[in-house]
Chains A and B, each alone.
Chain A
């Protein structure tokens, strides 16, 4: 407990996301705005799914534990589906806005491309999702206490932090793949995104059996990562050029010699 756990878990959960934000998004006002709009859309989807869950709980039998758990599972599935629906809605909104602006201005290029929007909106979804999942837990971890004193798992905080990190990065990858698939009208890819999201959420039903939930989640994370990498236009050649600092376009854009 206390400060060490708090800082450790915070940095595990939000480290990659915050560094992505600081290095790629913070300097561009448009990206920041679309990030926050993405977070807002996720929030609205959560609101709707909570509303439905709340209503269903009110009309159900509050005594029966099994029914409550069933309703919770239903709530989770509904929430995932709504999130993806709102991701699609956000995509449509961005397309409309993009088209409108492109039509008005004579310029060929937009100030922000649809791929950047995919990345930014995915990260926005991820930030909000991660924050809502873990912030209260982190706030509790600052205070005194013993983890798992009643026989629950002792790795509650750590596993929550790792799960949150995975979820944030996954949302980002899902965003990139989703938008790319919508652009190219590959509905199978869209379905794959929805299904992997459902799988990841359903895997967490096994908690506190962390081996069953965390490890497959990370495997899915890596798969989605490589898929997103290729969807965003990456390739082994690009990667090699980037890592050996020979990518001329990137260097030019960043005013570096060579």
Chain B
């Protein structure tokens, strides 16, 4: 059982890292189209924002002028909507970190060293010499990274050879484990900390309901906020597990190495995650919908379910599930911003001349959208393209901040510094995404800043601030 748990623990980050948002079929066509369109979609609602404005314009009558005007409008709207997306990611990341830090500070279970380790980190860190400890942590990190690389490759191979059932079963099992087993342990420890008594019947009912609703929300349909809340909760649980079971130096090393790996895997031409993204692009399919946090969505899940006879529409329908929002960075690659630009009906009708090949799918889409069903009004769509971030990002960010609050002697100052550093890293990543408009890893910049600020604050700022507080000097 322990093995299984750990297995899945490791699978989770792998999957989450490799989860990407699907590429739209427009990507190849977008190459030919000039900047504004992709820039519009890069900012997400940038495209949307210019959508309504372009409603009144003649379609491609004077392409150069239209393009220019779009560019200017896009720039302004890019800034506004880009900022909105950044905030849409700041809030869940902050919430996840707050949950992790609050748990670390109150529930001592996650900071206690029971001597238990994961099978992936077999070397102990309580050794006699510093050199031995360093060696052990390097070995641990190597093993862990190798496992992650192997898992990612297996995943890519499975995806490439269309073994979707295997992947889905794997994801299903891992989220099952997280939602039931780990949350049971969490609840148990919280009750122990606050010395509350709860009988097994109540516990069973609570865990059962929590788990089942979570599985439904994550793997099927559910209210958007609830799904987001569940994704944040399972990220926090996963981060807590890592904080508990990874020894200190190993954890920092793993964070550093995994951000380097993320960078290589996403940007190198032969990187597994890049292959994954490109394969998904070719097939025009969503990837692992359960492992990406998205800020708007849900109602399009309806469309994935409708039984469209034509292959085109079903393919278009399933990307809709994920692609209604502009994917932004994901820990592993995110969807390039070129995607998804034409998925809203108004946008699509305006861009028809550009999206020639997609005519059939647009029609079926509009058709389906006209079907009555309980879903949010279309206006949401025009105003917001959502953003997506893979759950692996959440996990590693929260792990960094949680580790900082657990082990730093500078206490809250270090935690705050890491928190601000990670948010700024995320902001920069999103800015780069808006500039480069291709899949970018979200881990490297944030983790780099986080690590730098952790070590700098803990070793340099803490003694300074302590002395100042002692004398009550203020800077």
* A and B held together in a complex: yes
- Interface-side segment among B76-84, B156-164, B321-329, B438-446: B76-84
Task: Contacts A46-B461, A132-B416 given; indicate if A32 touches B79 (C-beta within 8 A).
Answer: no
- Partner of A131 from B72, B90, B416 at Cβ < 8 Å: B416
Chain B nearest CB, measured from A98 CB (Å) = 11
Taking the complex as formed, is B453 at the interface, i.e. its CB lies under 8 A from any CB of chain A?
yes
Say whether chain A's binding surface is mostly helix, strand, loop, or mixed.
Answer: helix
Q: Which residues of A contact B413 (CB under 8 A)?
A: 132, 135-136
Q: Which residues of B contact A132 (CB under 8 A)?
A: 413, 416, 461, 465
Q: Which residues of A contact B460 (CB under 8 A)?
A: 47, 50-51, 54
Contact status A135-B416, CB under 8 Å = yes
Q: Which of B51-88 contact A (CB under 8 A)?
A: 71-73, 75-76, 79-80, 83-84, 86-87
Say whether chain B's binding surface is mostly helix, strand, loop, or mixed.
Answer: helix
Interface size on A, residues (CB 8 A): 52
Task: Contacts A32-B90, A46-B461, A111-B79 given; indicate if A133 touches B416 (C-beta within 8 A).
Answer: no
Task: Contacts A47-B461, A111-B79, A132-B416 given; indicate if A139 touches B411 (C-beta within 8 A).
Answer: yes
- Partner of B83 from A33, A54, A69, A208 at Cβ < 8 Å: A33
Contact status A129-B475, CB under 8 Å = yes
Q: Which residues of B contact A146 (CB under 8 A)?
A: none
- Partner of B456 from A36, A39, A47 at Cβ < 8 Å: A47
Taking the complex as formed, is B463 at the interface, i.e. its CB lies under 8 A from any CB of chain A?
yes
Chain B nearest CB, measured from A192 CB (Å) = 19
- Smallest CB-CB separation from B85: which chain A residue? A29
- C-alpha gap A205/B470 in the complex (Å): 11
- C-alpha gap A128/B468 in the complex (Å): 16
- Partner of A156 from B72, B459, B472 at Cβ < 8 Å: B472
Contact status B75-A160, CB under 8 Å = no
Taking the complex as formed, is A60 at the interface, i.e. its CB lies under 8 A from any CB of chain B?
no
**Contacts A30-B83, A132-B416, A136-B412 known; 6 new A-B pairs at CB < 8 A:** A47-B460, A50-B465, A72-B468, A75-B464, A104-B71, A107-B76
Residues on B close to A: CB < 8 A? 71-73, 75-76, 79-80, 83-84, 86-87, 90, 411-413, 416-417, 420-421, 423-424, 427, 453, 456-457, 459-461, 463-465, 467-469, 471-475
Instruction: Enumerate 8 A-B pairs (CB-CB under 8 Å) in ascending A order.
Output: A33-B427, A40-B421, A46-B475, A49-B475, A53-B464, A72-B471, A133-B469, A205-B473
